[in-house]
Structure 1
Amino acid sequence: MPAARVQHVVAAVVCAALFAATLGSPVAGPEPIRCAPCSPERLSQCPAVAPGCAEALREPGCGCCLACALKAGELCGIYTAPCGSGLRCAPRPDDPRPLHALTRGHAVCTESPAAP
């Protein structure tokens, strides 16, 4: 088999593999990621929300339980309770490692910029 023919076959195999991998990807696939339903059994395992909680929101991601929302200026991250209404969890502007801050709960609940 000539070298040019081998290169074309290899390129076709690589393209087919990439195409197949993309179809199975939750990012590029036609279906979004779906969370499991919040069954009564799962809800019964949720801890109680503190009595003085001003705003209770669902846990981030696929969580079923309610958590007391964090206030402006409180530390937050991807594994913490959610920030309250009108707030978002963001690393400090001068933080040299913003992803580290988000994964370690060292980011801060800040006011969301107004939507255009």
Structure 2
Amino acid sequence: MAVTPIDLLASVVHLGPGGTIRTGTAEPGLGSDPGGWRLRAFHARTDADVHADQWEVHPEAEEIVSCLIGKMRLHLRPERPGHPEEEITLTAGTAAIVPRGRWHRIRLDTPSNILAVTLPHGSRLEKR
């Protein structure tokens, strides 16, 4: 099998059971792949690129969110009513692990390259 470069900003990488890896075109929205984990890198110019006005949740797995270039804030919805959102600042080269089932969203401080890895099954968005 020939080994060729992968444009991570234009592809989704699926990490499957048994150590398989396959790539595909980056799909808009959350998508789903029953074969395992999804690694996605993308360039976000504005808050609209990271659906900052919506909460996202992954009920079946944790998610690692990494800022490769730029600066952004990861917001975690309060687990109990009346409590404030948690806000984690991510700068180039840093990451945070979002707990399984925790609603979260991203806001940009500057245009950023972002890398995220999670199981996409059952992922949902909800208007903020």
Instruction: Give TM-score, length-normalised by structure 1.
Output: 0.27
Q: RCO higher in 1 or 2 (8 Å CA, sep ≥ 6)? A: 2
Larger radius of gyration: 1
Q: Is the strand fraction higher in 1 or 2?
A: 2
Higher helix proportion (structure 1 or 2): 1
